[in-house]
Amino acid sequence: MRILFPVKPVKIRALFSDIGGVLGTNGWDTALRQKVTARCGVDPVQAEALHHLMFDSYERGYISFNTYLQKVFFATDRPFRLEEVRDFILNESTPWQENIEFFRRIKRNNSLKLGLISNEGEGLAEYRARRFGLRDLADFTIFSHFVHLRKPDPEIWQLALKLVQVEPAETVYVDDREMFALAAQELGFAAIHHVSLPETQKCLVAFGIS
């Protein structure tokens, strides 16, 4: 864990956070892809190569989850159905209720706007929003496939600022990927590289958020 903005900012008015790795498991990452290829008996090297060809288009909202899965896992005939793969992936998403309740309390106790900024594609994003209860938690959620922007595109953070009408120094951004926390820091956000809930709590206290 590191606070990536060394100077204490002005009064914080908004808190922005990633979803996967902060509020619950990732929706679709390397570990889960490996789990799927092993379960289905798919060549992991071929699947990973096809993933890298298709994933940017999927997360930016130009192809559906079903189309992505079809291209990556069904380049040849398979003894299993696309729906089986999709449902297995969806069911692997697990909310971290302790973390979600922590962000809920932080928002309420400090009168903050809470926005979520996530690289998630069609199908996965909507399912996870329901399963994690994100519509009740956040004031707004920016999913990459809705806006055709994807972290680390600077515009995705700038969109969040425009929605809340705040300056970067009036916000804190939390992400489990250090590269994305650094990207937000370069735009002027106070940024936290999340590695655990207790450590992130300490960082927020340093910013005057109790």
Task: Please name each of the domains of the chain with its CATH number.
Answer: 2-26+95-206 (3.40.50.1000), 30-91 (1.10.150.240)
What is the C-alpha to C-alpha distance for residues 125 and 43, in angstroms, rounded to an integer? 26
pTM of full prediction above 0.85: yes
| Average pLDDT per consecutive 10 residues, the chain (210 residues; last block may be shorter) | 52 96 97 95 95 97 97 93 96 98 97 97 96 97 98 98 96 97 96 97 92
pLDDT per residue over 150-172, tens digit each? 999 999 999 999 999 999 999 99
